């Protein structure tokens, strides 16, 4: 028994020594009576330096407030944030995913609703606020920070070399791709194995076929379905471009596709505007251009549409000990000053109305989106329940492009999944 | 051993006799392991079962749901179709691994046992991939197998085998076999080492007796050695079974969380990951229910398998 007692005492000793390490520290922020430190959590590790510059503007104008951007790994962020928001030691302000991915946080009542607290939100267009809205109560929970638009990004040097210009019609586009292919180039660097890119490609090549916002309005009202002709046709139209995809595209990954494009082996890359900064970094010699896919014959839309969506927003933790200061900060994030700094430092399209990006390509993307916007249907509008249309689309399109199912089957997969929870608006 | 033999009187006095060991000593030696086991196995398992009984709103349990989450997971489209498909892929993966990894592992063990020259070297070489994380193995192989930049297709084309160059991980027909082969490449050293040790434990006289009775080498192997290897076969089969049904990191690195082209590599581990980390508001409830179902399946099947294999064991 002597040993047991001694063991117990030793164990108790170890426990006493380790317990303080597990104890929560003092609530982040209050270090003095006036000094407030706001922790802003996010998923962009590569943007720390840029955010430091941006928040310096706020700190200079608000003495006594320190703002710290705390980044986590993008693929672990959602899980870390869910736990972090349940505790006063978590973030004061958090970068929030948009649409469906936001809903678990809204349901857990982890966020402060911003309606009435951030008057500047009244100036944001409704489709932009949709990205930060709770599906259940329709309240806005974050100040949207970026708009992502989807395009065909092309290599200007290669287009010029082959006497090609951004196409004005579908036929012009396919003729140009045919010419590039004949010259031994990959016309379109697409990925198939990274399935999250498939719904993006479908919007880029299919939006005009189903008709963009007009069709979405009917879908939300229950008057149109994924399985109806225009949407099924949009899938077939997208896949008809597969003759211009890389050889054995079934096995091409996202990174492979990026490398094909930046190395000059591929002439164009269908993707989001966020690729521009990455492409510029990996090959500074590359002269980039963007265009959107003109309507094919028989398309529902007559004009070339530009798909886009809200990337995310900044919201306030309901558990923040400095909630007032945190709300003040997100209010500033809805101002043109923040928008301009964000666009300049991060080379992205700010969601703040009236802020024009300095980068000419981003300015072109934003102007085109504002003139002829189209929704990212599966990601933005059918993501409030489980399974989301985006998950269903990623799975179904993977089977579809591998040639194991038809366009109708893929559409049916999405519709069947969504029908389990989606209620059309009256 | 020597000490024990030199002092029989002390043992006779009962100082270290198992029957008289003080319960305090037993507790002292078992406690650390028990605490760790309890903390990292029993508690999470109990928690998962408990969590699975509630409907969740984010990280907040909203209401008691009983077995509702189990029903939801088993009936909701497309989960209701993905569960049997993923289970079938796990079964195929297990069968493939048994056929490739363990058979070749046994073959290598017999080769090294018969030809001890370079045994150490080959043992090390075959076991080296053990040291690499499956995630890294997955990423390396996905680069090797890439149809655009991968050296495997490049070499096939270079020697005129153009038609053999395939989008290995993008073709639903080749994805699962490739997964089995890559997994076997990494773990083949395990069964080889276990079989090698087991072969070393078989008395030579038995084989010599079989040879004197006129048995051919293959007859001697199948009738004498193999039955005596059954305990090793049993251990390896159960370990392979558990490994195959807990598969996650390698398949995630090779095919992403969706399980490759058209879900051709989708397995229960990925399905759990998607439900837990890419699920909706009630992700905790549903993924906990799914985890418990997977646990019951793997634990139950392991028990049955172990019983079955035990019955086939023989002693020299």
**Residue B192 CB neighbours (<10 A):** 25
* Domain B78-311 in this protein, CATH class: mainly alpha
DSSP A25: -
Over residues A83-98, the mean pLDDT reads 92
Q: Which residues of A touch B279 (CB under 8 A)?
A: 386
- What is the pLDDT confidence band of residue B19, given thresholds at 50, 70 and 90? low
Over residues B87-101, the mean pLDDT reads 97
What's the pLDDT score for residue B277?
86
B194 half-sphere exposure, CB direction, 13 A CA radius: 21
What's the pLDDT score for residue A6?
46
Q: Which of A342-351, B9-18, B53-62 is predicted least confidently?
A: B9-18
Q: Coil, helix or strand for A269? A: strand
Task: Please write the tens of the pLDDT for every residue from A298-312.
Answer: 999 999 999 999 999
What's the pLDDT score for residue A18?
37
A356 CB within 8 Å of a chain B CB? no
Over residues A242-262, the mean pLDDT reads 95
Report which of A326, A323, A333, A322 is spatially closest to residue A34, judged by C-alpha positions: A322
Cα A75 to chain center, whole Å?
13
A183 half-sphere exposure, CB direction, 13 A CA radius: 19
CA distance B275 to B86: 13
Q: Which residues contact A368 (CB under 8 A, 6 or more apart)?
A: A149, A151, A292, A306
Q: Give the β-pairing of A143-155 and A306-316.
A: antiparallel
Tokens encoding B196: 């090698």
Residue B311, burial from CB neighbour count under 10 angstroms (0-12, 13-18, 19+): exposed
* Alpha-carbon torsion, ordered B199, B204, B206, B211, to 10 deg: 110
A6 CB within 8 Å of a chain B CB? no
Task: Please write the tens of the pLDDT for every residue from B276-289.
Answer: 988 888 999 999 99
CA separation, residue A244 to residues A190, A355, B32, B280 (Å): 9, 37, 62, 36
Domain A148-308+373-418 has CATH 3.10.20.30: no
Q: Which residues contact B105 (CB under 8 A, 6 or more apart)?
A: B188, B189, B190, B191, B192, B195, B236
Q: Coil, helix or strand for B80? A: helix
Over residues A126-153, the mean pLDDT reads 94
* Residues of B within an 8 Å Cβ radius of A: 22, 24-25, 27-28, 31, 57-60, 76-79, 142, 145-149, 153, 165-172, 255-256, 258, 260-263, 274, 277-283, 286
Q: Which residues of A touch B69 (CB under 8 A)?
A: none
- In this predicted structure, the answer to whether residue B61 has a pLDDT above a threshold of 70 is yes
Pick the CATH number of A36-146+312-359 from 3.30.1330.60, 3.40.190.10, 3.90.950.10, 3.50.30.60: 3.40.190.10
Chain A to chain B Cβ contacts (< 8 Å): 137
Positions of CATH 3.40.190.10 in chain A? 36-146+312-359, 148-308+373-418
A247 CB within 8 Å of a chain B CB? yes
CA distance A13 to A17: 6
Per the CB < 8 Å rule, is A387 touching B58?
Answer: no
Tokens encoding A262: 């930046």
Confirm if B103 and B192 have CB atoms less than 8 A apart: no
Task: Please write the tens of the pLDDT for every residue from B220-246.
Answer: 888 888 899 999 999 999 999 999 999
Over residues A195-210, the mean pLDDT reads 97
What's the pLDDT score for residue B153?
94
Q: Which residues contact A244 (CB under 8 A, 6 or more apart)?
A: A174, A177, A178, A180, A181, A186, A187, A188
CA distance A103 to A380: 12
Domain boundaries, chain B: 78-311
Q: Which residues of B touch A252 (CB under 8 A)?
A: 146-148, 167, 170
Give the closest of B76, B169, B274 to A251, CB-based: B169
Interface probe, candidates B262, B266, B279, chain A, greatest A C-beta count within 10 A = B262
**Where do we find the tokens 């504002």?**
A370
Write down the pTM of the prediction: 0.85
What's the pLDDT score for residue A31?
43
Give the closest of B59, B166, B170 to A86, CB-based: B59
Interface probe, candidates A250, A258, A406, chain B, greatest B C-beta count within 10 A = A250
Among residues of chain B, what percentage have pLDDT more than 70?
93
Q: Which residue of B has its CA nearest to A245?
A: B148
Per the CB < 8 Å rule, is A104 touching B58?
Answer: yes
């Amino acid at each position: 028994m002597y040993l047991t007692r001694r063991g117990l005492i030793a164990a108790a000793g170890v426990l006493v020594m380790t317990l303080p390490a597990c104890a929560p520290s003092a609530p982040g922020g209050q270090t003095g009576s006036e000094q407030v430190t706001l922790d802003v959590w996010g998923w962009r590790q590569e943007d720390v330096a840029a955010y430091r510059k941006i928040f310096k503007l706020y700190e200079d104008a608000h003495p006594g407030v320190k703002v710290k951007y705390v980044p986590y790994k993008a693929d672990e962020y959602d899980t870390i944030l869910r736990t972090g928001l349940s505790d006063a030691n978590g973030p004061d302000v958090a970068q929030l995913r948009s649409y469906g991915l936001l809903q678990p946080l809204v349901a857990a009542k982890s966020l402060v609703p911003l309606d009435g607290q951030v008057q500047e939100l009244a100036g944001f267009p409704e489709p932009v606020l949709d990205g930060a809205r709770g599906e259940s109560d329709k309240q806005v929970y974050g100040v949207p920070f970026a708009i992502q638009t989807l395009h065909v990004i092309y290599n200007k040097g290669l287009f010029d070399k082959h006497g090609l210009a951004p196409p004005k019609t579908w036929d012009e586009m396919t003729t140009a791709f045919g010419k590039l292919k004949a010259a031994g180039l990959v016309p379109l660097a697409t990925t198939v194995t990274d399935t999250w890119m498939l719904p993006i490609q479908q919007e880029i090549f299919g939006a005009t076929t189903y008709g963009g916002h007009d069709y979405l309005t009917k879908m939300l009202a229950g008057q149109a379905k994924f399985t109806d002709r225009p949407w099924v046709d949009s899938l077939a139209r997208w896949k008809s471009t597969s003759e211009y995809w890389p050889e054995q595209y079934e096995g091409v990954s996202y990174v492979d596709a990026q490398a094909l494009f930046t190395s000059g082996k591929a002439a164009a890359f269908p993707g989001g505007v966020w690729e521009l900064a990455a492409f510029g970094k990996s090959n500074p010699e590359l002269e980039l251009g963007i265009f959107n896919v003109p309507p094919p014959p028989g398309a529902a839309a007559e004009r070339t549409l530009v798909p886009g969506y809200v990337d995310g927003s900044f919201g306030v933790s309901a558990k923040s000990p400095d909630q007032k200061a945190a709300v003040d900060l997100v209010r500033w994030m809805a101002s043109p000053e923040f928008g301009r700094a964000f666009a300049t430092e991060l080379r992205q399209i700010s969601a703040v109305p009236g802020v024009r990006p300095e980068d000419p390509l981003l300015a072109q993307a934003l102007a085109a989106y504002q003139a002829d916007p189209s929704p990212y249907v599966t990601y933005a509008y059918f993501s409030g329940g489980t399974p989301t249309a985006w998950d269903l689309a990623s799975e179904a399109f993977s089977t579809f492009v591998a040639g194991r199912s038809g366009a109708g089957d893929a559409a049916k997969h999405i519709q069947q999944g969504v029908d389990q929870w989606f209620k059309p608006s009256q | 051993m020597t000490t024990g033999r030199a002092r029989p009187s002390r043992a006779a006095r009962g100082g270290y006799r198992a029957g008289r060991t003080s319960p305090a000593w037993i507790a002292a030696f078992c406690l650390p392991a028990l605490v760790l086991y309890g903390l990292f196995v029993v508690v999470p398992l109990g928690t998962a079962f408990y969590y699975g009984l509630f409907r969740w709103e984010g990280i907040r349990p909203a209401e008691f749901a009983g077995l509702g989450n189990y029903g939801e997971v088993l009936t909701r489209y497309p989960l209701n179709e993905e569960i049997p498909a993923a289970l079938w892929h796990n079964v195929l993966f297990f069968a493939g691994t048994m056929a490739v990894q363990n058979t070749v592992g046994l073959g290598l063990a017999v080769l090294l046992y018969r030809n001890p020259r370079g045994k150490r070297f080959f043992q090390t070489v075959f076991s080296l991939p053990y040291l690499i994380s499956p995630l890294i193995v997955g990423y390396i192989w996905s680069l090797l197998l890439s149809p655009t930049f991968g050296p495997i297709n490049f070499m096939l084309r270079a020697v005129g085998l153009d038609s053999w160059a395939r989008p290995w991980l993008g073709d639903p027909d080749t994805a699962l076999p490739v997964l089995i082969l890559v997994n076997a490449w990494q773990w083949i050293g395990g069964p080889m080492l276990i079989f090698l040790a087991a072969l070393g434990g078989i008395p030579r006289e038995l084989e010599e007796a079989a040879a004197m009775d006129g048995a051919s080498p293959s007859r001697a192997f199948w009738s004498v050695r193999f039955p005596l290897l059954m305990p090793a076969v049993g251990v390896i089969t159960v370990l392979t079974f558990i490994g195959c049904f807990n598969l996650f990191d390698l398949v995630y690195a090779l095919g992403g969380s969706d399980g490759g082209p058209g879900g051709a590599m989708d397995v229960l581990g990925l399905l759990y990951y998607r439900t837990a980390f890419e699920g909706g508001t009630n992700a905790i409830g549903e993924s906990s229910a799914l985890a418990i179902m997977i646990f019951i399946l793997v634990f139950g099947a392991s028990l049955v398998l172990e019983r079955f294999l035990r019955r086939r064991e023989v002693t020299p």
